[in-house]
Structure 1
């Protein structure tokens, strides 16, 4: 825990994300904040432990997407896996608004949202409660003095290992080579996690083949990074 530079009176983890809102939210999407979001919101994780089984009784699996952006990947995966509970976390309110629109238009019933820091949800989940954790294109925080703000650090990796079921998987994707190196090192040294996409060839070329179930989003197509997307896959022993 460190002091948040935006509020020196409150101790909390350093923010791993930037702004939480940009342009004005469209009126139809704003309505969904009042009507749809309350019905699918994850209970306040700061209030106590979260029970995934209570969020969707009968779900065959539970997946968590950390920082879902505009919700394209989250919603498509939810549509492909209707028996899976999809928990999405995103502090950027315009992204939440976009996800709500997609969820509403496709009539999805297996998505739950947390419009804030995903680490709050991870900390509140019980041990061995998730089948998959997905971290796609998180903020890279390029400057060395800002590396401490990166979402995937030793603490977060340890929490992910704790909440994954045996055989559960974590997928980390980035289009910044330095962040891929950083993430690989931290996942490799996390007890309980084993790299699963160890193929032929040298790093990072061997990690540039997208998994068969990967969903390409508009953000990925923008190619904002300095490398083609690098996919890291680890499983829980």
Structure 2
């Protein structure tokens, strides 16, 4: 889908874009490295999408809202066969990922530093093998809940780009968000929840590394839920 074909997106589901001042190195990486890792949404996506990455990869994984990048970077190092396409509008988090990419010469990472909905509109159908949405902004105030990312229209957009049988992982420490997201997945209908017993969503799998936000939630006494869905 071209930029001219995309529809207005409405209210965004993320908060601030920038925090403290970037270091000189981070500023350099944003200016010099980010343009090389960033998909050009004004042009059609490459065919196949795997050629988006500097390293040869066999499939593409998508993380929406990678925060400081702990999970994204862990998956990139642990799975060199996969290209990790991360989306994060918070530039300080982007800068941390860029620093790690340069330090460890990670060639299977790409970064979209803006609204995930634009990226989802640009991606080809059935091009994503795995997707991660881990501890997204819960927008706890009732009047703001319409900004939560996991609502039916965004789930439908994810369904369009995910391969049949592809896995979508979602985590939250907010019980109300877990409930409303599950209901949205059920109403949308393109994904099957894979849990067979309570431990399947109460315990984090071994290939799902802990993030800084998750550690803070656990330290504060909040229970986390770890959901896995399969694209029908």
The counterpart of 2:209, out of the listed 199, 211, 215, is 215
1:71·1:102 contact (CA, 8 Å) conserved in 2?
A: no
Structure 1 unaligned residues grouped into runs of 5+: 1-9
Query: Displacement of 1:127 after TM fit?
Result: 1.1
Shift of 1:102: 1.2
- For structure 2, the residue ranges without an aligned partner over 5 or more in a row are 1-6
- Contact in 2 for aligned 1:64/1:86 (Cα 8 Å): yes
Distance in 2 separating the partners of 1:156 and 1:164: 12
Secondary structure of the equivalent of 1:21?
coil
Instruction: Please identify runs of 4+ aligned residues in structure 1 that moved more than 4 A.
Output: none
CA deviation vs aligned residue, 1:27-51 (integer Å, no higher than 9, x gap): 11111112211111111x2x24423
1:61 CA displacement? 1.2
Q: Residue 119 of structure 1: which of 80, 104, 117 is its match?
A: 117
Structure 2: distance between partners of 1:229 and 1:37? 32
- Distance of 1:184 and 1:227 partners within structure 2: 19
3-state SS of paired residue (2:133): strand
Count of residues paired in the alignment: 222
Which digits, 9 at most, give the CA deviation of each residue in 1:157-204, with x for residues without a partner?
A: 0111111111101111111111011111111222221111232x4xxx
CA distance in 1, matches of 2:67, 2:110: 15
DSSP-derived class of the 1:145 partner:
helix
1:73-107, CA deviations, whole angstroms, 9 ceiling, x for partnerless residues? 10110001112111000000111111111111111
Provide the TM-score with structure 1 as the length reference: 0.88
1:65, 1:89 within 8 Å by CA — same for their partners in 2? yes
Task: Provide the alpha-carbon RMSD of the alignment.
Answer: 1.8
